[in-house]
Structure 1
Amino acid sequence: MSSENSSSNSDQASPFVRPAAPGGFAASADVTATQAASSPANTSPRKGAKNPARRRVVGTVARARLRADLADRDRAILAVLGMHRFLSTHQVQRFCFPASNQLRLDSAAREARRTLLRLKRAGVLQNVTPRRVGGIEAGSGVQIWQLTSAGHRLATETARPSAEPSWRYRAEAPTTRFLVHELAIADAHLASIQAAADMRAALQVQIEQRASRTYTGLGGAALRLTPDLALRLAGEDADGAYEDRWFMEIDCGTESLPTLVRKCEQYEAYYRSGREQADSGTFPLVLWVFHGIRAAARATELRRRILRAGRLTPELFRYAPADSVEQMLTSGGAV
């Protein structure tokens, strides 16, 4: 995060912070509900595991016809799934069917379900977990969606330049652990959208591979840093124009704290390389977002370890539970 025209108060507090009005955001229950199902050991899709859903083959002619018939909202759904890989019905609704009150929210939910089922029948979407899961939404069917092979190709063909999916399609079922992390990234993206609306700021978001940075380490080694998200918020407040930049790391409680500290060390190395500052003039704040019942305890312990390490710059890092991401962003990182 940076501020091109920071106030005197922000100068006194931290060179990284821009004070702003607070906000509020409730994280999606889909993350907790999916996480409650199981916790496999792998953090990436298990190789060789095929998605049990029946695949429908969509040929070139049929795909061309589909592309011509796609409505703007259909394209938006393909685009956001091309960005995130996996989304719950509720998340698709929030991305593509915004509503301003409860009546419109109910209507948007029905329209989202109808549209998703229509795209599924067309062969461009499929369910990842078409089963009931426990957790907060115990007894309810949490539908998780992904692109089919044909949907992935359509998303690539219809995306604006540089916005096509950055991942290769695989017909493999993801592990629950990987799926939970991807849904949590989508929740952080949604919180960022809400924060930008509250701040009346323009928002740019990069996800995972598109957020990656390369830099030169000790001895001239080529290194790569891959945040879960990279954000840029640009707007104006009482103090003038500002630009806040953030890196986000999503913690679902599945990695050890030493692993989190090592990721902080990667950010420190990238910060000391000066590459980001040379490209954009500032270095973003790094926001750790914690999910799960131990979120507060893990945030406290990570902060303690960063302070104790001595080799890290504590001012670079911020910490927030999943339901406080919007508030952290609208505050500009003020602590």
Structure 2
Amino acid sequence: MSRRGHAARLRDKLSDRDMAILRDLEALRLLTGKQLRRLHFPDGDPVTQARKVRATLKRLSDLGVIVRLSRRVGGIRAGSEGFVIGLSGWGHAVLGLDSPVPRRHRRVVETKPAFQAHVLAVADLYVGLVEHARTGSSELLEFAGEPEAWRRFGGLGGQAITLKPDAFVRLGVGDYELASFIEQDMATESLPTIVRKLAVYVTYWRTARNSRRTGSSLGCGGSFRLPPASSRRPEHQPVPSEARALFSVCLTTDALPSLTQLEHEGGAL
């Protein structure tokens, strides 16, 4: 049987919720069992939710469309909620059935704990935004992780530049649409690296302003949000004064209110 034929047979065995889980894993790269519960099993008491998650993950693993990494979040006492889950090659193949062109499959491999922690922190922001949207307080219009959130553009001197945020978020709050690039700072990057990244954001902003003047389009923009330690804040870095309002800084625990408040000072591109 061909690879596509086997993928089609696998898809016939998957529910709508199964497919939604695979799409989230494709977009976010990694999710924990707890994050999957919050995303796809919000109803019922915690015991029932946990049982459904365990059964679903076992079935998807047996079908070969997901892989479970050896590292747990929260230790062995976390149970199935602590498992770190990724999309397998067959999972990518199932999602690729709807694509007219071959899609690039990112192979899930055991990675360093620091990398996994960063990926899961970005995923946790997405989970929080989905839960916030369920309350009716906001509408999650778009959430793109890496590399879909990246922006390729020509600098003011014509050189090719790629802006590489960790995520791009577009929210509907009341009558407003709020857009932000996200940088999830885990205090692992050096200050010179942060300075260089801030400079790319400023260049992107300046190029966007110039594009508007000439009637061309640079794509989606927004404010740039980074949750750093005090010494890593943009106001402590060599950022031009006219661009400082682009950056909104908060702790990870304060990301949701920072992203959804209408009074933020982020500059629209």
Bin the TM-score by the shorter chain: 0.7 to 0.9
Report if aligned partners of 1:251, 1:289 keep a CA contact under 8 Å in 2. yes
Identify the match of residue 187 of structure 1 among 112, 118, 124: 124
Summarize deviations over 1:63-120 as a string: whole Å, max 9, x none: 3222112110110111111111111111111222223xxx533322221121011110
CA distance in 1, matches of 2:241, 2:166: 23
What SS class does the counterpart of residue 262 from structure 2 fall into?
coil
Task: Give the residue type in structure 1 aligned to 2:19.
Answer: R
What SS does structure 2 have at the residue aligned with 1:252?
coil
Q: Report if the CA contact (8 A) 2:178-2:222 is conserved.
A: yes
Matches within 5 A, 1:156-195: 156-158=96-98, 167-170=104-107, 172-195=109-132
Is 1:224 paired with 2:154?
A: no
8 Å contact 1:195–1:329 — kept in the other structure? no
Other structure's SS at 1:214 match: strand
Classify the secondary structure of the residue corresponding to 1:251.
coil
2:91 aligned with 1:151, yes or no?
yes
Tell me the CA shift for residue 311 of structure 1.
6.0
Q: Distance in 2 between matches of 1:286 and 1:171?
A: 29
Match of 2:144 in 1: 206
TM superposition shift of 1:153:
0.8
Q: Percent identity?
A: 31
> Corresponding residue for 1:244?
178
How many positions carry a matched residue from both structures? Answer: 257
> Is 1:112 aligned to residue 57 of structure 2?
no
Q: What do residues 18-76 of structure 1 show as CA deviations (whole Å, max 9, x unaligned)?
A: xxxxxxxxxxxxxxxxxxxxxxxxxxxxxxxxxxxxxxxx9554432221121101101
Q: By how many angstroms is 1:192 displaced?
A: 2.3
Aligned partners of 1:260 and 1:302 also within 8 Å = no
Residues 311, 334 of structure 1: alpha-carbon distance in 2 compared, 3 angstrom cutoff: closer
CA distance in 2, matches of 1:125, 1:138: 20
TM-score (normalised: structure 1) = 0.68
Match of residue 233, structure 1, among 171, 174, 186:
171
The higher-RCO structure (CA 8 Å, 6+ apart) is: 1
2:199 matches 1:268: no
2:249 matched residue in structure 1: 319
The CA distance in 1 between the partners of 2:219 and 2:98, in whole Å, is 33
Deviation at 1:196?
3.5
CA distance, structure 2, for counterparts of residue 60 and residue 200 of structure 1: 39
Change (3 A) 1:320 1:197: farther
CA distance in structure 1 between the aligned counterparts of 2:98 and 2:48, rounded to whole angstroms: 27
Unaligned runs of 5+ in 1: 1-57, 291-297
What's the RMSD between the two structures over aligned residues?
2.9
Give the structure 2 partner of residue 74 of structure 1: 18
